[in-house]
Chains A and B, each alone.
Chain A
Amino acid sequence: MIRCLEERSSGLLLPTGVQQAVSTDRALAMQLSKQRDVEKVHTTPINSLDLDPVEMRYLISGASNGTIAIHDLHNVTGQPQYTCPLLCTVDRCSQHAHKYSVETVQWYPADSGMFVSSSFDKTLKVWDTNTLVPVETVACRERVYCHRLSKIATKHCLIAVASSLSQVNLVDLKSGSYSHILKGHKGAVYVVDWSPQNEYVLASGSSDNKALMWDVRMAKNCIFTLDQHNGDATRCGPHAVQTAHNGAVNGLRFTADGLYLVSFGTDCRVRLWRTDNGQNMLVNYGAINNVHEKCLSIDVSSSLNPEIVFVPHDSNIDMLCLHTGTKLQRLVGHYNDCNTLVYHPFHQELYSGGNDRNIIAWLPKTASSDDYQEHLKETKLKKGTSRETKKKGANVNLMQDTWSSDED
């Protein structure tokens, strides 16, 4: 770090370089936060999380019983110890709520006044955040696994909807109905994602092991099919179907620069693809358990060096290096499976939700936070009476070994 600052002062390093170094340090020091809690509201497994793209302040979560909740992440108290309060919730008793499991929730990219949710009750709802009433309900023919809005779109406002219908439906927010469909898959489509660079490029992953790259202006066919063997005829035969995984593809994520695509499949593999020609980069991330027959969110950090992929691995979250595939760290904290996670690129924080109904905040462990803990204890010691002091004194030793003398 000192070297980095030195280089910066001598002008060898760009300002972004320092920023990158610091945020990478922070991201790698991520751990289960003792200071940050998210208020508990869900009584069923959490399926989807999203951060509002404007301020990165509001966390929206969708649960299996149809509940949608919004938390405020900004800590304005001045104390590191902070429980993110619940702002509002669409309770399952509400007449507008989804009947079945909410599979995906996503903020409208331009404004936190609107969000979109899709559910197994075969509907896609566009909500007004202020009134918590759906302004538009689009009926789908099948259960919806995933939907996505393009974050950079200026010329269209299409929602790509992945359902068990083996096609990607595009819903136009302007008209509130389907504009067109993209046919190419042979099984249920589990996941879709828009490119952050080209507003018309869309990737989709399906239970037929294929991942396709689409240009929505070209409805006739996909741009290309992602092939795990890179067209190597000896590996898959001349007439074999090009597949991205040996199992269903249920996680897709473009990197922030839009140059790469990360996919996750039920063959317990993560793959990295080039988005310009669909080449498999053949990065070995190791086996990561995945048995879910539904959309599973993975996330990629932005403006770090090296870039980090966050992948849920059973009840843990694996942090993998994007380009080398090495495992950087494992975040341990959930019980049962972790379903969804979202990375906060400004503060290098991670929020994850799982079957244990918790939303867990993962914050970087910094010297200041340790100092704060010390400070807390000290103030408590000062304030407390002599009896309490004794008690708190015991607390100080909690993290230390307490071998009794009889073992000598």
Chain B
Amino acid sequence: MDVKDLQLLSFCVGKLTNSGEPKLDQEVMTKIKKTCRMSDDNVKHTFHLLWTELEKPHSEMRLSAFQIVDELFNRSHAFRELVIEDFQFFLEQCAGTDFENPLPAPKAAAMTLRMRCLTAVHQWNEKYGEAYKKLQLGYNYLKECKGINFTDMHSQSIGEQQRENERRARQENMLRDKLKVISQQMTDLIPEIQSCLTQMDSCFSLLLPHMGENLYGGHVPLPGPSGLNKDSCDLELQKCCNEESLELQQSRPDDSAAADTVPAVAGKDGHSNKANTDGATDRELDDMEESEEREDLLRHHGMQSKYSIDIQVQSELPWIHETIDNTDIINTADELLKMLNTKLQPAVAEWITVITKTGENMDMLKKAIDVKQAIEAARKKYAELRILRVKPGEENGEDSDDDDDGDFEEVKEKEGYEADIPEHLRDEIEFKPKEPTQVMEEVWKPRIHVENSDIDPTTSTATLHKLSAKYKLDLTQAGKPATQEMCEEVVGQHVDGAKSPRTKHREENLARAPHLSFGVDLVDWDNPLPAGAVVSRRHDLCRFWIAGEDETHVSTELLSSMRHRAIPFVGAFEPVKHACRAPLPSGRLCTRRDRRICPFHGRIVPRDAAGRPRDAEDRARIEREEERRLHAATPEWQDPALLRELEAATGIDLTLTGRAKGKGKGKGKKSKETKLTNVREIANTPRSRLERKVLSRSAIKKVANDLNSLEYKRFRDKFSNQYAYQ
């Protein structure tokens, strides 16, 4: 065995496997074959080299190694013997037969590796199966135990199916658990939703009563049978009926005036009218009873059918004003809607998504969809209702039906709507089209301004203004006093009739002075003794054995704590305006914005466009540091000068790969040379990075410790006073 041969072999094998090429470099391969031909020892050495390459967690490397194996297998008997002896390992590494150890990344290379391996095994078996019994057994093993179909290699092997099944089973289990939780939630929540919806419905019906109720409660006489039909009529139907313009075969000039008022009448009265028209619609549809109805009409209204009345029905629902009577109802409806929006609807939506994912439990899905539709209907109803809310702040002001319509959503609609409002109704809703800008201003004014406005007589500024008017003082120059105390001070000064320049000076100082809230330390500020002596009581409750200490002893610590106050000074945040700008190996500049020290490049100093420090002193310092670090990183024997000398003396290439050149550089260069896919980069996902952090041993330990201490604390709090009688 020649050492040179072995070195050559390991070099060649390394070169081929690290190339990352899908095809072998024939020149290098020929070299290997030539060397292996010389002796079986070389073959054995190659075999071991290849086996270590097959263990590498990189499919491209394995693929190259496999190709070499295939070449040699077809040539050397010794190699065949060796391969077949460890055939199971070979199959595991190249065909992924062990379902716990699938082939490594990259996936494309893994697929080709598997395919080519199986094809090769098939060929080998046909050719050498007779002579090598174990190869035959291995082939049968693949076929029978691993379920590999050699006629159709693309089909999944049992191992892959098993992996796939396991993954699917895990997912299904998760979904099933979710479904269980959801069914529990459904049983819990559905009654709640139902009650919520019924409450909302009843709120609506209270706000905007149904036809039937109204008919009996209202004063408008209508034919009985048609009125009864309307019991089940809901808002939507009502709306679409309203959109029609109806022509009745009746006419009375007086009625047309009354009909004109219909659209604008607010509240309950409006509804009774609408009900009237609705009743009419039904009647029109019902041809059979027409004649009867005509008689009825005649009876009720005293009108003949020769009159025709044009009734214009407003398409939108009327406004609902918030009054003392209905404010509770509206509030309740609001709350219910909020609950629907925030809690119930998202829950239902989640149910539906989860149940659809499982693809089973159609009845559950149906139930969920029903609930969802009911919720949607309720929300739609609420949106259709146009409620004029009174702002809660204004309510106890001058009058409940003051200006300002509070609800922002309504404002726009109102603008589009105002043209239709008849003149005589304008005072009722208190809309002033002549000064819309003013209205808008008041609407949008934040409440904080109102608090200190001059207009409000209850605020301090108003008082000040009043006083200044009284004493003819120009306070505006001093700026608005910021705090209540200062106001009082000023007022006091004014009342005393003090001189204005001194006040001004004092005021300025006060404006500058920091504001301190009242605390214990201020109580005893000038007091040498504590206001009350702290009396310590004996805890041992023993009558006979008394310690000789003074009972009224007060610890100095306690006293000092009463005099002191910790004032944390935070200061205003100043954003960092400079970057580190140290040159990076990639050629760019460091963009970290640290205040003083960059964790990678040390103290931040002013640098020029190329990233060099401006100061000569800084430059020298950085160079010195660099040198020191380099020196520390490379051991003495790796000193480049020494290596060069040795190279010259021995003639052996001693160039150090990778690490000697510096961490980042070496790696980048290597990957460029070899074309090998960087597997780590594939695995470097945000999830994996987070996982590394969150599930690291130390983090888990820390969490466990915290939980343990919490547990212990809870235990101690609960049971520390109990004696364990064991």
Q: Closest CB of chain B to A364's CB: distance in Å?
A: 15
**Which one, A332, A399, A407, contacts B134 given CB within 8 A?**
A332
Majority SS of interface residues in chain A? loop
Pairwise interchain contact B141-A335, C-beta atoms closer than 8 A? yes
Query: For window 297-355 of chain A, which residues contact chain B by CB distance below 8 Å?
Result: 315, 332-336, 355
Q: Closest CB of chain A to B89's CB: distance in Å?
A: 10
Distance A360 CA – B133 CA, assembled complex (angstroms): 11
Distance A402 CA – B130 CA, assembled complex (angstroms): 17
List of A residues within 8 angstroms of B128 by Cβ: 398
Pairwise interchain contact B133-A356, C-beta atoms closer than 8 A? no
Answer yes or no: B503 CB below 8 A from chain A CBs: no
List of A residues within 8 angstroms of B74 by Cβ: 402
Q: Closest CB of chain A to B140's CB: distance in Å?
A: 8
Q: Bits for B137-153, please: 1 = Cβ < 8 Å to A, else 0.
A: 11011001100000000
Contact (A32, B144) CB under 8 Å given A399-B77, A401-B77, A403-B33: no
List of B residues within 8 angstroms of A358 by Cβ: 137, 140-141
Pairwise interchain contact B75-A395, C-beta atoms closer than 8 A? no
Contact (A315, B88) CB under 8 Å given A336-B145, A407-B34: yes
Pairwise interchain contact B30-A401, C-beta atoms closer than 8 A? no
Distance A24 CA – B496 CA, assembled complex (angstroms): 129
Q: Closest CB of chain B to A192's CB: distance in Å?
A: 31
5 contacts between A and B (CB under 8 A): A333-B133, A395-B130, A399-B77, A401-B75, A402-B75
Q: Bits for A30-46, please: 1 = Cβ < 8 Å to B, else 0.
A: 00111000000001000
Answer yes or no: B85 CB below 8 A from chain A CBs: yes
Query: For window 239-261 of chain B, which residues contact chain A by CB distance below 8 Å?
Result: none
Answer yes or no: B37 CB below 8 A from chain A CBs: yes
List of B residues within 8 angstroms of A406 by Cβ: 30
Answer yes or no: A357 CB below 8 A from chain B CBs: yes
Answer yes or no: B576 CB below 8 A from chain A CBs: no
Size of interface on B: residues with Cβ below 8 Å to A: 24
Add 19 more A-B contacts to A334-B137, A360-B137 (CB < 8 A).
A43-B144, A315-B88, A332-B85, A333-B134, A335-B137, A355-B145, A356-B145, A357-B144, A357-B145, A358-B141, A395-B131, A399-B77, A400-B77, A401-B77, A401-B78, A402-B75, A403-B33, A403-B76, A406-B30
List of A residues within 8 angstroms of B76 by Cβ: 401, 403
Pairwise interchain contact A403-B77, C-beta atoms closer than 8 A? no
Distance A32 CA – B137 CA, assembled complex (angstroms): 11
Answer yes or no: A404 CB below 8 A from chain B CBs: yes
Greatest chain A CB density within 10 A among B76, B78, B127, B145 is at: B145
List of B residues within 8 angstroms of A399 by Cβ: 77, 131
Distance A404 CA – B141 CA, assembled complex (angstroms): 31
Pairwise interchain contact B138-A335, C-beta atoms closer than 8 A? yes
Distance A43 CA – B145 CA, assembled complex (angstroms): 8
Distance A332 CA – B133 CA, assembled complex (angstroms): 11
Q: Bits for A43-67, please: 1 = Cβ < 8 Å to B, else 0.
A: 1000000000000000000000000
**Which one, B75, B85, B131, B134, contacts A403 given CB within 8 A?**
B75
The 9 closest A-B pairs by CB, nearest first: A398-B131, A335-B141, A407-B33, A403-B37, A407-B34, A356-B141, A335-B88, A32-B133, A34-B133
| Nearest chain B residue, comparing its CB with the CB of A32 | B133
Pairwise interchain contact A335-B75, C-beta atoms closer than 8 A? no
Q: Bits for A383-395, please: 1 = Cβ < 8 Å to B, else 0.
A: 0000000000001
Distance A404 CA – B30 CA, assembled complex (angstroms): 10
List of A residues within 8 angstroms of B87 by Cβ: 335
List of A residues within 8 angstroms of B30 by Cβ: 406-407
| Nearest chain A residue, comparing its CB with the CB of B37 | A403
Distance A333 CA – B84 CA, assembled complex (angstroms): 9
| Nearest chain A residue, comparing its CB with the CB of B80 | A399
Pairwise interchain contact A336-B133, C-beta atoms closer than 8 A? no
Distance A406 CA – B33 CA, assembled complex (angstroms): 10
Q: Bits for B103-144, please: 1 = Cβ < 8 Å to A, else 0.
A: 000000000000000000000000110110110011011001
